[in-house]
Structure 1
Amino acid sequence: MPRRIKRAAIVSSVLILLVAVCAVALTYTVRSSSTSSSEADKDLPVLKIGVTDNDPYVYTDIAGDYAGIDIDIAREACKRAGIKPQFIDISWNDRDRLLKNGEIDCLWCDYSPCYREDEYCWTEPYLTLTVSVATKKTSGIKSLAYLDGSKTVAVIAGSVSERRLLAGDLEISSDVHIKSYGSAELCKAALVKGYVDCWMADVQSLDCLVAQYPGLYRVFADNVMTVDLGVAFKDGYEGEYVKDLNTVLFEMDRDDTIERIVGKYKAGATTDRQGAES
């Protein structure tokens, strides 16, 4: 064999051997890191979080994983507090029973202490929402002043919007018809199918509707109210989770983490939804 060819063969063999060694080392490092992370997670206390589909706060993405504003905030807060979040899909009507019997630890799903201050043990508010009304552009309804006894408004059952409408403490005719649905998706479907004239909800949810159906819907320029969101534990809760979450949620507000998370879900910012408490 010529010396040049022999030398090239030796160099090639050495290179192949080095690549193989690097690949094995990299694989071991990745597996070792993954295993260590998995082992560490096993030792973390688990927070069982009750959620229900409510785009853009909670929904499943195209991969079938939980996503949304509240999901991202909860994940980051739990990470900082040394807690492992476990999201549990629940029927919203069963929320209090599940809390009481311990199947879930808390409710973290676009939920407000407004009108419920004494019903749960709450964290401090972590987000303030603006509530308005959406309607079809062809409806002729341009503001709250147009809502009278001939109009029907969709709201989520048990929401702050429903309670305030029923209490008559909003600047809307007391004759307006109120149609309550079990979720934001059902409210949206009712408006799209023409079962109702309007949908009252937080602006984030309404903006998603407008983005989903370009040119068909408008959101009122005059807002109805603002609503604070909190994490709800059962009444009489005496554990450390509320205190721990208050600490990290305050930090997340101070370092603008919550603002950045909300910004990710502005209408049009994401397109992988399957898709409010307010």
Structure 2
Amino acid sequence: MKKFTKILAFAATACLAAALVAGCSGAPEKQELAAQPAPAEQQTPEADAPAETTKLIVGYDNSYPPYGFIGDDGNPTGLDLDLAAAVCDKLGWEFEATAINWDAKDALINQGSINCIWNGFTMEGRENDYTFSEPYMLNEQVVVVKAGSDIADLADLAGKTVVTQVDSAALDVLDGDQKELADTFAALDQLTDYNNAFMQLESGMVDAVACDLSIAAYQMAANPGAYTQLPTSLSSEHYAVGFKKGDTELAKQVTDALKELYADGTVQKLCEKYADYGVTVDNWVLFE
């Protein structure tokens, strides 16, 4: 009996060992199957994920009417800000207007705080520093004096004090192509914005203001009879939207949208909105 009991115990042990061996040898096979990726048709393609909306962060000078300024209601307004908002609406983008210090614009666009400069921004002479949209508006650099001044043309500026904005297109011209003229001035002062420049002109602290044609038109429209624009301009140029160097796709999308906005009449309406500020659609140069 003892011998038979030992045989039964041995047999039971052998069966248990065999079961354990069989169980262990099957486990890796199941784990390997579990690790296999799901069939391609069951996977969610990346294309199904919602596309990220482009956000256009426009850097602008909030004391640069009629292109960018603070309206009577305390909100940002101006032709360029309205154009930017219309572009974003057409393309389904988010729009954000960010008031900047004009002389900090390069640092801001390079670090990504803004992704375009859209504020009566002259492209000539800056082509190596930015990627631009196609030009959309004709502009000139002109000189404005007080009505009744003895300054009738550019030659009469000799010995006079002229003021312009820091890092402006007018300053670039007077430091470049018109340097010989600027060398005849008693002084060429620089201020942070044109509103202060025209206040100094009105008070007699300076004799003339060198500025964009649009700025001159705005100041003369806002102050009838107060100022006179000299008949000879300093230069002729164009406004465009400036982007970080190499951002060609964004520039192209904005250019194409502006062409469409001209075609559908939006540009005409916006220029009429700012007609009292001296804006005219006759200076628009971007078409289909």
Q: What's the TM-score bracket when you normalise by the shorter of the two chains?
A: 0.7 to 0.9
CA apart distance, 1:248: 1.0
CA apart distance, 1:81: 2.0
SS of equivalent residue, structure 1 residue 180: strand
User: 1:198-224 CA distances to partner (integer Å, 9 max, x unpaired)?
Assistant: 112222221222233332211223333
- Structure 2 residues without counterparts, runs of 5 or longer: 1-51, 280-288
SS of equivalent residue, structure 1 residue 267: helix
**Which residue pairs with 1:167 in the alignment?**
176
The reply on whether 1:139 has 2:149 as its aligned counterpart is: yes
Q: Say if 1:48 and 1:85, in contact at 8 Å, map to a contact too.
A: yes
Structure with the bigger RCO (C-alpha within 8 Å, sep 6+) is 1
Q: Say if 2:173 and 2:234, in contact at 8 Å, map to a contact too.
A: no
- What TM-score do the two structures reach when normalised by structure 1? 0.74
Within a 5 Å distance, the mapping from 1:135-214 to structure 2 comes to 135-148=145-158, 150-169=159-178, 172=181, 174-176=183-185, 177-214=187-224
Q: Which moved more, 1:260-269 or 1:176-185?
A: 260-269
**Structure-1 separation of matches of 2:207 and 2:122:** 25
SS of equivalent residue, structure 2 residue 276: coil
Q: Say if 2:66 and 2:277, in contact at 8 Å, map to a contact too.
A: no
The reply on whether 1:47 has 2:69 as its aligned counterpart is: no
CA apart distance, 1:115: 1.1
**Structure-2 separation of matches of 1:268 and 1:126:** 18
Amino acid in the other structure paired with 1:113: M
CA apart distance, 1:256: 5.0
The reply on whether 1:227 has 2:237 as its aligned counterpart is: yes
Larger Rg: 2
The reply on whether 1:58 has 2:29 as its aligned counterpart is: no
User: 1:129-174 CA distances to partner (integer Å, 9 max, x unpaired)?
Assistant: 13322111232112223121x1122111222211111124378463
- Structure 1 residues without counterparts, runs of 5 or longer: 1-42, 271-278
**Structure-1 separation of matches of 2:269 and 2:152:** 32
Alignment RMSD, CA only? 2.3
**Structure-1 separation of matches of 2:278 and 2:188:** 32
- What TM-score do the two structures reach when normalised by structure 2? 0.71
SS of equivalent residue, structure 1 residue 139: coil
Within a 5 Å distance, the mapping from 1:1-150 to structure 2 comes to 44-53=53-62, 54-148=64-158, 150=159
What fraction of aligned residue pairs are identical, expressed as a percent? 26
Q: Say if 2:90 and 2:257, in contact at 8 Å, map to a contact too.
A: yes
